[in-house]
Amino acid sequence: MRVLHVVSSLNVGGAERFVIDLATEQKTNQKMSVGILSMGLSGEPLEGEVIKNDFSLYLHSNVLSIRKIIQQYDVVNIHSSYCLLRVLLASTFINNRIIYTRHNERVHSSIKWKFVYTLARYKLHKMIFVADKAQTNYLKKYPQFINKATTVLNGVLPLPLVKLPCENMRLGMVGRFVPLKSQHLLIEAMAKLDKPLDISLSFFGTGDLLEYNKSLATTLIPDVPVSFHGFVNDREKIYGQTDILIVASETEGLSLAILEALASGTPVIASDVGGNPELIKHGINGFLYPYGDTEKLIELIVLLSTDKAMYKKFSTNSLQLYRSSFSMKICSGNYLSAYK
């Protein structure tokens, strides 16, 4: 089977990283011929990962160019709404299977998107959602896709379980500095501590709000060790120095950062939004809290940071959940079923 994955760019993002992991599993263990079509620019951060894994790489956004590419593949798996219309137009009168994976829970409702989804109703063979809640919300708006819709939970490749030694309890956040990721809420929560704790913060990622968050940390928590690492491609490095992952997002599909935390045995404290409750079972392998509630967030941080027995239980349960439900082997098998 020849599979082409289509992404909007090869910048750092959960969907882009997931595509590379899925493609790796498909090529290595399912013996597929895999290509990746990016509508971004040459030289983007994850381009090196694509080249290293020897996938066929295409950098095009023109409909005619896309048409020539997709003619070479049996299955075209679109991973971004940005790419959807162009691939649908390019695939006219081409007999291959068009799959659309929605990686977030937001439902498009403008006139433009109503037109796009009218076209998609006739062209798409399958629409994949990464969380049950996302599928439910979408079908309320577009019930005509009920027979094409399915949920396939994301997966990640295995990660090492070794934590680098450190005296501090290290809180980590992974993601682009954009409004919906809400990194500022962790900084504001830490400012509510009644007394100093042996805790440090690490932020991994870049984006428009990076400098704002740096300034906020300097102003609100000058006595807390805070590191802004920028773009880090090595996930072993990220989770090797992260003891607790914090996810403060306003919305999520099925968070790749949480999946990576599960695979590395790292407990998570996450906002109770999107697909987060499908990954974090409150009090079993981590904690959930209402989005924006910094009082509750700091309460849970203190609790997990100071209870070693609870921390060990959460770590063990996270790893067990990953192995039973969220390995890339399981995920890629479910994708293969959707393709067929």
- Condensed to tens digits (0 to 9), the pLDDT of residues 251-302 reads 888 899 999 999 999 999 999 998 899 899 999 999 999 999 999 999 999 9
Instruction: Please tell me the predicted confidence (pLDDT) of residue 102.
Output: 93
In a domain, 162, yes or no: no
What residues make up the domain containing 52?
A: 2-151
Residues 147 and 175 in one domain: no
Amino acid at position 83, single letter: C
Q: Is residue 332 part of a domain?
A: no
Q: Are residues 230 and 142 in the same domain?
A: no
Shared-domain flag, residues 175 and 142: no
CA dihedral 83, 277, 256, 28 (to 10 degrees): -90
Q: Which residue has the tokens 């089977």?
A: 1
- So what's the pLDDT on residue 177? 95
Q: Do 117 and 183 fall within a single domain?
A: no
Instruction: Judge whether 336 lies within some domain.
Output: no
Phi, psi of 23 (to 5 degrees): -60, -35
pLDDT at 50: 93
Domain assignment of residue 163, yes or no: no
Residue that finishes a domain, picked among 151, 185, 220: 151
Fill in the amino acid letter for 47: E
Which pLDDT value is given to residue 140? Answer: 94
**What percent of the chain clears pLDDT 90, i.e. is strictly above it?**
79
The pLDDT tens digits for 36-68 are: 999 999 999 889 989 999 999 999 999 999 999
Same domain, 137 and 174: no
Q: What is the pTM of this model?
A: 0.82
Neighbours of 54 (CB within 10 A): 9
Q: What angle, rounded to 10 degrees, do the helices at 328-339 and 14-28 form? A: 80
Residue 91 lies in a domain: yes
Give pLDDT < 50 ranges for the chain.
none
Q: Are residues 140 and 207 in the same domain?
A: no
Residues 6+ apart with CB under 8 A from 311: 243, 267, 304, 305
How many domains are contained in the chain? Answer: 2
Residues 141 and 228 in one domain: no
Q: Looking at the structure, do residues 312 and 271 belong to the same domain, yes or no?
A: yes
Residues 140 and 192 in one domain: no
Verify that 48 and 79 share a domain, yes or no. yes
Order the strands of the 244-247 sheet from edge to edge. 226-230, 199-204, 169-174, 244-247, 268-271, 286-289
Domain boundary among 88, 122, 151: 151
Query: Rounded to the nearest 5 degrees, what angle is found at the Cα of 243, between the Cα atoms of 194 and 321?
Result: 120
Residues 36 and 79 in one domain: yes
Asked whether residue 157 is assigned to any structural domain, the reply reads no
Domain contains 156: no
Q: Which two tokens stand for residue 158?
A: 């295995």
- The answer on 126 and 178 residing in a single domain is no
CATH of the domain at 270: 3.40.50.2000
Q: Where a domain ends, among 122, 151, 180?
A: 151
| pLDDT at residue 106 in the model | 84
